[in-house]
Amino acid sequence: MIVQVKACGMVPNLGNVLANWETWYPHEPLPPRPAIFGLDPVGIVHEVGEQVVAISPGDRVYVNPTRSCGACHPCTSGQPQLCDYWTFAGYFGFNQNSLKMYEKYPHGGFCEYMKAPQAALVRLPDNLDFRQATRLGYLGTAYAAVKKLGSLAGKTLIIDGATGTLGVGVTLTSLALGVSRIFAVARGLPLLDRLRELAPGRIETFSNLDGSVAEWVKSRTDDVGADFMIDTLGAVASLDAFKDAMHGLGRGGRLVNIGGTAGELGFDVKWGMDNAIDFTGSAWFTTAEGIELVDMIRHGALDVSVLQPKAWPFDQINEAINGVTSGDGGFTSYLVDI
């Protein structure tokens, strides 16, 4: 089908991807250039194919940018991230098979019209405007990671990098899903203070510039440690900070990594074994999870009004790429209006 794009989210990491990705991660190809980038498009269904059902022209939609073969066991069992062809349209792929997907779906979201499969579309409720909906990629990534933790009732959660785009998303979604206490870790105190105000009785904050995160978490949990941790640190963040926060987990702790920090961690496998630590990665989210997330927003279970859009017109896209650090950390959503 064809979607008329109304806005597209600007990934804070896009500048790194364009400038450095093929050097940093040569096994993960970019779309062949010239290419149309843009990861989080929203818009209106303009035209549907003969085989399309349940979607009609005029529907307001978010387009999940992930593409996969659709026919393998992972795809047909609802785990497209495990498909050998899994690819981010308008961003990067995960192996050389992604080049075949780019031939079929060459469009990212920085364009007026784009082709998209029906299985990628998430209908938007009337109470979610297009600008807010461009944040669904990061919110969906956070939501999928939080779901992997299991039940949050009566549980404690470390969020490492809590004031960034992913970190704020994890905070919002974990609060909505019932976490009891959050240990929010970042560097800057002003944004940590702002984050704590989202739920003052449930969020405690700590700057990792002030000492060991692990020691602080243990001091707040009678030396037991936290039940869960989600790491949201970015590509060039310190692995020492990751490792320190990780040791704030208690026995049986579960860690989910979604930030993309690269490098050798130096993981003590004996510590992991003795403490029954569960460590997993989580990449993006399924369209089904996008539907769940949007339904939470529709009915008020998840309040995204604290996220403030910062938009550029389409003809200022270069300024947008260079301006994604000009807002208030994860409280700002960057996008291009089209």
* pLDDT band, very low/low/confident/very high, at 325 (cuts 50, 70, 90): confident
Cis peptide before 34 (omega within 30 of 0): yes
Give residue-wise pLDDT tens across range 121-161.
999 999 999 999 999 999 999 999 999 999 999 999 999 99
Burial of 280 (C-beta count, 10 Å sphere; 0-12/13-18/19+): exposed
How far apart are the C-alpha atoms of 143 and 171, rounded to whole Å?
A: 10
Task: Show the tokens assigned to 231.
Answer: 């790491």
Tokens 């919110």 appear where?
Answer: 139
DSSP output for 129-167: -HHHHTTHHHHHHHHHHHHTT---TT-EEEEETTTSHHH
What residues contact 29, with CB distance under 8 A and at least 6 apart?
22, 92, 93, 95, 96, 98, 99
What residues contact 110, with CB distance under 8 A and at least 6 apart?
8, 36, 37, 38, 90, 314, 317, 336, 338
Give the pLDDT confidence score for residue 327 in this predicted structure.
Answer: 86
Task: Show the tokens assigned to 135.
Answer: 């944040």
CA distances from 138 to 243, 310, 332, 333 (A): 23, 15, 12, 10
Percentage of the chain beyond pLDDT 90 is 90
Give the pLDDT confidence score for residue 121 in this predicted structure.
Answer: 97
How far apart are the C-alpha atoms of 319 and 322, rounded to whole Å?
A: 5
Q: What is the DSSP letter of 37?
A: -
- The answer to whether the predicted template modeling score (pTM) of the entire model surpasses 0.75 is yes
